[in-house]
């Protein structure tokens, strides 16, 4: 193992009080098997359930757990951006707090980290109702065509990213469009991408915050603005604080 192989695992969480404790426990075991230098972060996006109380108890038992709490809901993209901002280790892995992915499969991504800047999972089989599967396929093909993203499963939120490659990327979205924005900008930046098959499971608790028709319609509308900023204006990198030039996308 290389000296710099440290790891941040984080979970964006909203209405996930029924699954987050098991996710933290499994993340601790999975990370311990990969590196001695790791941290676990949960972003509580102003969840109205018992999530805050559960995380307080978990933090007392697991010193490597840090909790980032939003006083007001900032949306899925806002929670993802908070997780990235809080991460301090060389590699950053995130997945959702609803246990639809098995965090123990992180080892499959970890094996490919040295040859990649992003290792992205793709679902072996989607374990969702038929209408969500249909919307997901439509969404994937639509986004893949317009943004030219070379990923076989754009909405598979099971990702390991090299943090030094992530930091210059300018992320702005507060909705589920954060995934499109992240993948499109990393692709346009010429970063190395590998892909790994992972399992997907039925939701055991709560319900999706993304897959309702009103929200999906809103996302497709917002996608037009994101496409303009990335494809036409070439927005990929942050403007350096010292006023210097941002790196060119390759």
| Contact indicator for 198, 156 with CB cutoff of 8 Å | yes
Predicted confidence at residue 146, as pLDDT, reads 86
Residue 159 within any structural domain of the chain: yes
Structure tokens at 6: 């440290």
- Answer whether 12's CB lies under 8 Å from 80's CB: yes
199, part of any domain: yes
The list of the chain residues with pLDDT below 70 reads 1-4, 127-136, 204-216, 240-250
Provide the b/e sequence for 113-135 (b: ≥16 CB within 10 Å). Answer: beebbbbbbbbeebebeeebeeb
Nearest-angstrom CA–CA distance, 52 and 250 = 43
For residue 69, being part of any structural domain is answered with yes
Extended beta strands in 33-86, E state: 38-44, 65-69
pLDDT at position 104: 97
Given a contact cutoff of 8 angstroms between Cβ atoms, the answer to whether 93 and 8 are in contact is: yes
Q: Is 122 helix (H, G, I), strand (E, B) or coil?
A: strand
Tell me how far apart the alpha carbons of residues 94 and 116 are, in angstroms, rounded to a whole number.
16
CATH of the domain at 227: 3.90.550.10
Residue 169 lies in a domain: yes
Which pLDDT score is estimated for 81? 98
245 within some domain: no
In whole angstroms, what is the distance from residue 96 CA to residue 23 CA?
9
* Position 250 in a domain: no
Q: Which domain holds residue 137?
A: 7-232
| Total number of domains in the chain | 1
On whether residue 13 sits in a domain, the answer given is yes
């Amino acid at each position: 193992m290389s000296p710099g192989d440290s790891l941040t695992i984080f979970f964006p969480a909203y209405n996930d009080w029924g699954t987050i404790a098991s996710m933290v426990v499994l993340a601790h075991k999975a990370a311990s098997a990969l590196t001695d230098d790791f941290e676990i972060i949960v972003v509580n996006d102003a969840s109205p359930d018992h999530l805050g109380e559960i995380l307080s108890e978990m933090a007392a038992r697991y010193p490597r757990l840090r909790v980032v709490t939003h006083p007001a809901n900032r949306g899925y993209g806002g929670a993802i951006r908070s997780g990235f901002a809080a991460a301090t280790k060389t590699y950053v892995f995130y997945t959702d707090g609803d246990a639809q992915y098995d965090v123990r499969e992180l080892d499959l991504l970890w094996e490919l980290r040295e040859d990649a800047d992003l290792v992205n999972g793709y679902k072996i089989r989607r374990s969702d109702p038929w209408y969500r599967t249909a919307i997901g396929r439509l969404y994937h093909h639509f986004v893949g065509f317009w943004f030219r993203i070379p990923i076989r499963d754009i909405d598979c939120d099971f990702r390991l990213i090299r943090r030094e490659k992530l930091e210059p990327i300018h992320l702005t979205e507060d909705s589920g469009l954060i995934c499109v924005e992240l993948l499109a900008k990393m692709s346009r930046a010429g970063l190395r991408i590998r892909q790994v098959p992972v399992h997907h499971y039925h939701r055991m608790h709560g319900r999706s915050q993304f897959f309702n028709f009103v929200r999906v319609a809103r996302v497709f509308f917002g996608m037009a603005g994101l496409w303009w900023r990335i494809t036409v204006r070439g927005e990929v990198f942050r403007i350096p604080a010292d006023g210097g030039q941002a790196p060119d996308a390759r």
